[in-house]
Amino acid sequence: MQALYENLPVFKAALDLAVYFEKIVQHFGRYHKYTIGTDLRNLSRKILILIAKANTKRERKESLEETLEKLRELKITIKLCKEVKAFHSFKSFEFATKSVSKVARQCEGWC
């Protein structure tokens, strides 16, 4: 049985982002993998859960505002990863930034 949120474009984009972070963090150095990499993975999973919760609520504005706050935290964490050179390439940073912006735009449009 498929959940109601699984067909949402914003959920699919957030799921893709969470999967991306799960894969990319594997290639971080040991120190970054267990510190900032854990933050990336946890935030992306939290965003996914908040989107699913927002879909089940009649009044979803509060959940979406919390989601947008977590997305801002994720953007800051991504920038920090870039500065400490946790990403192996600029393309990884660029893809992560664009993906977070895509999810944020979809959440803002959903409010």
For the chain, the average pLDDT equals: 91
Please tell me the distance from the alpha carbon of residue 75 to that of residue 79, in angstroms, as a whole number.
6
Number of separate domains in the chain: 1
- pLDDT, residue 8, reads 84
pTM to 2 decimals?
0.89
- pLDDT, residue 3, reads 62
User: Residues 26-56: pLDDT tens digits?
Assistant: 999 999 999 999 999 999 999 999 998 888 8
**Regarding predicted confidence, which is higher, 105 or 8?**
105
Domain harbouring 61, CATH code: 1.20.1440.60
Its domain, for residue 59, covers 4-110
